[in-house]
Structure 1
Amino acid sequence: MALILCKAEAKTPYYYERLDLHIYSLEELAYALGHYLYLVPEHFVGKELCHWIIDSLGEQTFGEKLLSLIEMGEKEERLLFRLIRESGYYTEKEVDELSMEWRRIHALSEAERREKMGDSLFSLGKYGKALDAYQDALHFEENGRRIRKIGESYIHTKEFQRAAESYRKLYERNHDKMAARRLYFLSKMCFPKDKFKDVFSELDEGVTDSWEKEWEDSLKAARVSSERKEIDGAYREGKEVFLSFARKKIESWKEEIRGRA
């Protein structure tokens, strides 16, 4: 494994909004760009970034060169890969491979690009932003895969009603067994028992029996989990301790959900 030393650390970080990331060096920036090419916004290499390179990194010659190229109307791809090369983070072969990937990305349809963007955001735990990208993709071109991804995103943002609507739509469209399974467990968690009985009545005999066993096994595991023991311990310490514990736990859950937006 090679050790890469940063040329300079920024006086103030550059905020890469799409990744919700503060960048402190060209190497960090190149890493983020190369690993999440689908998330690079249009015209990313702009005047604001150039002034950060000049003022915060002290890379005046390079920053001014980029500004000059922008003024001359240099193509977006050439600006981006000039920046990536300047970082020294990647080998020339790796840069060439990234350049080829960039061209493949921009040969995709708008719907495909939005979906791939959603996949990248989902992998980062940015479920709210992933959801927006999947919905954009679905607007351009509807298919079952995108409906499923929208449902999965709603599950992660705890919007169970909307998740159920997506899975119901997917089942009605494709008779997707996975969608029926999701509806089954959602109905166990937060819906009336018979809400999706029309869906379940169409399934092969014994399918819901296996799901019911899976549900019961999950409940048994939850009863002996460390989280359950923590709750029980706080409850045994009295009302005030338990209420304080509950407030902190609920706030931590809220923070977790906010972080998924």
Structure 2
Amino acid sequence: MALLLCNKGARHPFYYEQLDIDLWSIQELSYVIYKYPVIIPPDFVDHKLSSWLRDELNMGILASKLEQFMNAGEDGNQERLLLMILRESNYYTQAEIVRFENEYKKLRNIEKHTFLNMLGDTYFRMERYGKAIESYEESLFLKSDFNVQMKLAGTYVTVMQYQKASDLYEEVFVSTGSEEPLRKLYFICKLEPSIRTIEKYLDNIDTESLAGWELEYNNVQSAAEHGTRAGEIHDIYQKNRSAFREHAKIMILKWKREYRAKI
């Protein structure tokens, strides 16, 4: 994740574990708070953060205010602390801060399984797929929900755990009779031919739907084959086979690192 460093940065960053990033300025801190309220833990603003603001950003006045409220130990303190940081950063308008305040209040009052579902959605958008899977699974443990099962299955597909995805899609179809999980099972069969769950349910699919799914898959495959990345790799292969092999090694290592980071 790349953030914009607006004011003078800290000599040492503040590491935010939930996002696995280093924060270097008050604006970056405010951006994370505003953009991802669902992943802000109830103890996010603590003495470690206030010390960083004082020592690294020379924001002693803000740090003292935060510590005063923290030491008071009042109910709802975290919300007030977050709002203080947002206002002090001068990165968001008052109207935006009010919108954040309203959203944060709603998050505090929703049911746990709903919150975990939203948390999974946030992690998925951030491409933190391992975290998304954990959140969806926790949500389902608290309450069965076919929509969350579909999201979890889709996340499994993203990290190429096709068997787990197939099992979930099949469960949703058997329970709901919906066509969408069958469509997903069809595509899994295309991606991983050894998983042939879809064959058990071919009698439930009309010819028109099958033809549409086949066309959809072929269109996506064609777009991938003629995409920019594929074109670049093809050009390297045509010009120099030895260079292609070296490039392939580098790309495979890069893809492996990216995959591991996401799960």
The reply to whether TM is greater than 0.5 is: yes
Runs of 4+ in 1 over 6 A off after TM superposition: none
After TM superposition, the structure 1 stretch with the greater mean CA deviation from structure 2, 218-227 or 86-95, is 218-227
Amino acid at match of 1:60: G
Alignment pair present for 1:99 and 2:111: no
Give the counterpart of 1:243 among 242, 245, 250. 245
- Look up the SS of the partner of 1:50 in the other structure: helix
- Distance in 1, Cα, partners of 2:241 & 2:8: 54
Deviation at 1:52, TM superposition (A): 0.5
Give the secondary structure class of the aligned counterpart of 1:12: coil
Gaps in structure 1 of 5+ consecutive residues: none
Q: State TM-score, norm by structure 2.
A: 0.87
Gaps of 5+ in 2: none
Distance 1:195 1:94, change over 3 A: closer
Deviation at 1:255, TM superposition (A): 2.2
Mapped to 2, the partners of 1:5 and 1:259 lie a distance apart of 24
Report the Cα distance in structure 2 between the residues aligned to 1:10 and 1:38, rounded to whole angstroms: 26
Counting only pairs closer than 5 Å after superposition, residues 130-169 of structure 1 correspond to structure 2 as: 130-169=132-171
Matches within 5 A, 1:80-91: 80-91=82-93
Question: Distance in 2 between the 1:233 and 1:92 partners?
Answer: 52
Identity within the alignment, %: 28
Partner of 1:197: 199
Paired position in structure 1 for 2:255: 253
Distance 1:215 1:90, change over 3 A: closer
1:191-234 deviation per Cα after TM superposition (whole angstroms, max 9, x unaligned): 33743211222123332122223333444444544444444445
Select between 200-209 and 147-156 the one with higher mean Cα deviation: 200-209
Secondary structure at the counterpart of residue 56 of structure 1:
helix
The letter for the 1-side match of 2:150 is: R
**Residues 221 and 90 of structure 1, relative CA distance in 2, 3 Å threshold:** closer
CA RMSD of aligned residues (A): 2.5
8 Å contact from structure 2 (residues 173, 181) kept in 1: yes
Match of 2:65 in 1: 65
Retained in 1: the 8 A contact 2:185–2:197? no
* Residue 25 (str. 1) matches residue 25 (str. 2): yes
Q: Is the 8 A contact 2:10 2:56 kept in 1?
A: yes
1:91 positional shift? 2.8
Q: 1:96-146 deviations in whole A, cap 9, x for unaligned?
A: 222111111111001111111111222222222122111111111111110
**Is 1:124 aligned to 2:121, yes or no?**
no
Distance 1:61 1:193 in 2: 61
Amino acid at match of 1:210: G
Instruction: Rate the CA distance shift 1:191–1:83 in 2: closer, same or farther, 3 A.
Output: same
TM-score by length of 1: 0.87
TM superposition shift of 1:21: 2.4
- 2:112 corresponds to: 110
Paired residues, number: 258
Per-residue deviation at 1:55?
Answer: 0.9
> Secondary structure at the residue paired with 2:197?
coil
Name 1:40's counterpart in structure 2.
40
Alignment-derived partner of residue 10 in structure 2: 10
For 1:219 and 1:119, the matched residues in 2 are separated by 26
